[in-house]
C-alpha cells in the first residue's frame, strides 16, 4: 500500500467510525427514552465536571474517584460553552481517533493487514460506539492506553532519558484515569529490569529513574493536592477500601454489585462507607482511615474464609474472559435489543480468538510485551477488585488486535493446506467459546431497571402519580429494593399522603438504618404531619448517624423555636454555624428574633 493510499484508508477509517458514532447518537436522541437522563455514574462525572468548570479547579475534599476524566470533561465543557451536542461530537471524535491509533499500533507490532482488520473491527464495534456516546472515562483511557504502548514500543536502551521521562509522565497521567496503570508501571519496571539486566547499572539513570520520576511527578501532585485540601494522605482516591470490600467481601459475586447497605451513587458510597466505619469505631475518621477500615474488614474476611475467597478468585479469573451482562452499565442493559442486533463481533467471539492469538504470539512476538502487560494489569486489577464491563472494555482494542492476528493466521494455514493446526485451533476456540458462554441478564432485571428509570423521569417532571405507579410495579419485581421503597416514600410525601410516606421510609430504615436521606425525609414528613416530638427524635437520630448534617440542626432549631424553647433553639443554631460558618448571618438574625 502506497503512502497516499494508506493516508486515504486512515481518513476513511476515521470518517466511518465518526459517522457510525454520530449516527447512533442521533438515533438514541430520538429513540432512547432515557437519552437525557444519564445513569448515576454518568451524572456523577457530569456534576464533578460542572463544579470544576465553574471555577472549583482545586476542590474542597479528597478525591473519591479517579480525577482525570472529570477535569478532561470540564475543559471540554469550557471549550464548548457547555453545549451538549458539541461536547459529544468531540468525544466521539476521540473515539474515532482511537481506531486510527489502533491501526498504527497493529501495523507496528504485526502487519498492515492485521492493522487494517483491527481498525475496521474497532470502528464498527458496538461497545466502542456505545461508550463513545456515553461520556464515560472508557474512551479517554483507551486513547491513553494506545498512546502509551505506541510510545513504549519506540523506546530502547539508546533512547534519551527525556523520552523515558515523557513515557513516565504519560503513564502517570493515565493512572489518574484508571488505577490499573499503577500496576502497569510496576510490571513494566520489572520487565525492563529483566530485559536490560545486563546493562542495568549503566542504564538505570537513563531508563528506570526517568520513567519512575515522570510517573511520580504526576501522581505526587494529586497526593499533595489531597493533603492540601483535606490534610489527609490519600494517594489518588479514597474509594479503594470500599471497592476492595465490594469485590472481596462476604457478599461478593465477582462482578460489581451495589451492596444493599450503601446508596447506589458515588455520593452515597462516599457518605455511607464513612458513616458505617465511624459508627463501628465510635470516632471521627479521615477518608484514608475510612478506606483502611474497609480494607482491614476485607482482609479479616479473607483470612477467616480462605476457601470461599479462593472460589471467588476462580470465578473472577473466568469472568474476565466471559461476557457477563450483570457487569454492564445500566444504559447498556437497557439498549440490549440494539446491542444484540448490531454487535456482530461481540466479546464472546473476541475472547476465544484473542486467547488463541495470545498463545500463538507469546514467544515469537516479544514486541507485544507492553500490550500484554496492559492486558495483564487489567486482569490482575479485576481479580483484586471486581469485574465491571467498562473497565475491561479499555483492553478490548488490544484483544481485538490478537483476534485479527488469529484470523489471518488461520487463513494463512488454510492457504498452505496445513489443516491440522486449523482443526486443532478450531476445536480450542469452540471449547473456549462453550466454556466461556455469555451470562445473560434476566428480563425481570431489565424490566425493573426500566421501571426505576421511568419513575425517576416522571418524578423529575413533577408527575408524582405516574412515578408512583412505576415504582410500585418495580417493587412487584423486587419487593425489598431499598431505592424503590425510598422513591415511593418520596412520591407519597409529594402527594401529602404522610402515613404512606412514613410507612415506606420506615421500610427503608428497617433495611438500611443509617440512610441519612430517608431519616431526613422522614423527620420532615413528621414535621408536616404536625407530630413534632417524632420529628425531633428522628432529626436527633440523623445527627447520631451524621453529626455534620447542619440542616438537621436548623430544622431542630426551628421546631424548638416554634415551641418557644429558645434555649434549645440557640444550641442547635450554634451547632449549625460550627459546621457551616456561611450560615453565621442567617443564624444571628434567627437568634436575635428568638430572644426578643
524 neighbors 536 (Cβ within 8 angstroms) = no
Percent of the chain with pLDDT over 90: 69
Of 169, 167, 219, the C-alpha closest to 192 is: 167
pLDDT digits (tens, 9 = 90+) for 60-101: 899 999 999 999 999 999 999 888 899 999 999 999 999 999
Indicate if the pLDDT at residue 288 is higher than 90. yes
pLDDT of residue 325: 87
Residue with the three cell numbers 470518517:
15
pLDDT band at 117 (very low <50, low <70, confident <90, very high): very high
All cell numbers assigned to 418: 496445513
Average pLDDT, the chain: 92
Least reliable range by pLDDT among 80-84, 150-154, 180-184: 80-84
Longest distance between any two alpha carbons in the chain, whole Å: 101
C-alpha pair distances (Å), 421 with each of 114, 363, 412: 20, 17, 11
List beta partners, residue 439: 324
Indicate if the pLDDT at residue 596 is higher than 70. no
All cell numbers assigned to 328: 454492564
Residue ranges, CATH 1.25.40.10, the chain: 443-595
pLDDT of residue 329: 86
Q: Selecting from 1.25.40.10, 3.90.550.50, 3.20.20.70, 2.60.420.10, what CATH number does the domain 443-595 have?
A: 1.25.40.10
- For residues 34 and 578, give the distance between their C-alpha atoms in angstroms, rounded to a whole number: 41
Model's pTM, two decimal places?
0.93
- For residues 56 and 67, give the distance between their C-alpha atoms in angstroms, rounded to a whole number: 13
List beta partners, residue 324: 439
C-alpha pair distances (Å), 361 with each of 405, 415, 558: 9, 20, 72
Indicate if the pLDDT at residue 492 is higher than 90. yes
Of 341, 379, 387, 115, the C-alpha closest to 243 is: 387
pLDDT of residue 156: 87
pLDDT digits (tens, 9 = 90+) for 512-532: 888 999 999 999 999 999 999
Percent of the chain with pLDDT over 70: 100
pLDDT of residue 327: 84
Instruction: Please tell me the total number of residues recorded for the chain in this structure.
Output: 596
- For residues 168 and 156, give the distance between their C-alpha atoms in angstroms, rounded to a whole number: 14
pLDDT digits (tens, 9 = 90+) for 559-590: 988 888 888 888 888 888 888 888 888 878 87
- For residues 322 and 528, give the distance between their C-alpha atoms in angstroms, rounded to a whole number: 52
Indicate if the pLDDT at residue 201 is higher than 80. no
pLDDT digits (tens, 9 = 90+) for 36-51: 888 878 889 999 999 9
Amino acid at each position: 500500500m502506497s503512502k497516499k493510499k494508506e493516508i486515504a484508508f486512515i481518513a476513511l477509517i476515521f470518517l466511518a467510525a465518526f459517522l457510525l458514532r454520530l449516527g447512533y447518537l442521533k438515533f438514541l436522541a430520538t429513540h432512547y427514552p432515557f437519552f437525557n437522563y444519564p445513569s448515576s455514574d454518568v451524572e456523577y462525572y457530569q456534576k464533578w465536571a460542572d463544579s470544576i468548570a465553574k471555577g472549583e479547579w482545586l476542590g474542597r475534599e479528597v478525591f473519591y474517584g479517579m480525577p482525570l476524566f472529570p477535569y478532561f470533561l470540564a475543559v471540554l465543557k469550557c471549550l464548548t460553552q457547555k453545549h451538549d451536542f458539541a461536547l459529544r461530537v468531540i468525544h466521539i471524535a476521540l473515539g474515532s481517533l482511537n481506531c486510527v491509533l489502533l491501526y498504527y499500533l497493529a501495523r507496528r507490532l504485526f502487519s498492515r493487514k492485521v492493522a487494517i482488520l483491527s481498525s475496521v473491527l474497532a470502528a464498527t464495534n458496538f461497545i466502542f460506539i456505545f461508550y463513545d456516546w456515553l461520556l464515560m472515562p472508557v474512551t479517554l483511557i483507551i486513547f491513553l492506553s494506545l498512546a502509551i504502548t505506541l510510545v513504549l514500543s519506540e523506546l530502547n536502551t539508546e533512547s534519551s532519558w527525556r523520552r523515558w521521562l515523557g513515557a513516565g509522565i504519560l503513564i502517570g497521567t493515565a493512572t489518574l484515569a484508571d488505577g490499573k496503570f499503577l500496576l502497569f508501571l510496576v510490571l513494566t519496571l520489572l520487565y525492563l529490569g529483566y530485559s536490560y539486566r545486563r546493562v542495568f547499572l549503566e542504564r538505570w539513570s537513563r531508563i528506570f529513574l526517568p520513567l519512575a520520576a515522570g510517573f511520580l511527578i504526576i501522581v505526587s501532585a494529586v497526593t499533595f493536592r489531597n493533603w492540601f485540601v483535606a490534610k489527609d494522605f490519600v494517594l489518588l482516591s479514597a474509594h479503594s477500601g470500599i471497592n476492595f470490600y465490594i469485590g472481596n467481601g462476604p457478599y461478593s459475586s465477582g462482578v460489581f454489585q451495589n451492596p444493599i447497605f450503601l446508596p447506589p451513587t458515588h455520593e452515597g458510597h462516599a457518605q455511607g462507607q464513612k458513616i458505617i466505619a465511624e459508627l463501628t469505631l465510635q470516632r471521627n475518621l479521615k477518608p484514608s482511615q475510612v478506606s483502611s477500615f474497609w480494607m482491614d474488614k476485607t482482609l479479616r474476611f479473607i483470612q477467616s474464609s480462605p476457601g470461599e475467597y479462593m472460589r471467588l478468585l476462580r470465578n473472577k479469573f473466568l469472568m474476565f474472559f466471559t461476557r457477563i451482562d450483570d457487569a454492564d452499565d445500566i444504559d447498556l442493559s437497557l439498549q440490549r435489543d440494539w446491542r444484540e442486533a448490531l454487535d456482530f463481533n461481540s466479546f464472546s467471539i473476541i475472547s476465544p480468538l484473542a486467547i488463541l492469538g495470545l498463545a500463538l504470539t507469546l514467544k515469537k512476538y516479544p514486541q507485544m510485551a507492553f500490550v500484554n502487560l496492559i492486558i495483564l494489569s487489567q486482569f490482575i486489577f479485576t481479580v483484586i477488585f471486581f469485574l465491571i464491563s467498562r473497565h475491561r472494555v479499555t483492553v478490548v482494542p488490544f484483544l481485538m488486535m490478537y483476534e485479527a492476528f488469529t484470523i489471518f493466521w488461520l487463513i494463512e494455514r488454510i492457504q498452505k493446506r496445513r489443516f491440522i493446526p486449523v482443526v486443532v485451533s478450531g476445536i480450542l476456540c469452540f471449547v473456549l467459546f462453550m466454556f466461556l458462554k455469555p451470562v445473560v441478564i434476566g428480563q425481570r432485571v431489565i424490566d425493573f431497571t426500566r421501571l426505576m428509570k421511568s419513575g425517576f423521569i416522571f418524578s423529575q417532571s413533577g408527575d408524582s402519580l405516574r412515578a408512583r405507579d412505576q415504582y410500585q410495579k418495580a417493587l412487584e419485581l423486587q419487593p425489598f429494593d431499598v431505592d424503590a421503597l425510598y422513591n415511593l416514600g418520596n412520591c407519597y410525601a409529594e402527594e401529602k399522603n404522610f402515613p404512606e410516606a412514613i410507612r415506606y421510609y420506615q421500610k427503608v430504615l428497617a433495611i438500611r438504618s443509617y440512610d441519612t436521606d430517608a431519616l431526613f425525609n422522614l423527620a420532615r414528613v413528621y414535621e408536616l404531619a404536625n407530630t413534632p416530638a417524632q420529628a425531633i427524635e428522628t432529626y436527633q437520630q440523623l445527627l447520631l448517624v451524621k453529626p455534620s448534617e447542619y440542616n438537621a440542626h436548623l430544622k431542630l432549631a426551628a421546631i424548638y423555636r416554634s415551641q418557644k424553647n429558645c434555649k434549645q433553639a440557640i444550641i442547635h443554631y450554634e451547632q449549625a454555624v460550627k459546621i457551616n460558618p456561611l450560615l453565621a448571618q442567617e443564624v444571628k438574625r434567627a437568634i436575635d428574633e428568638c430572644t426578643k
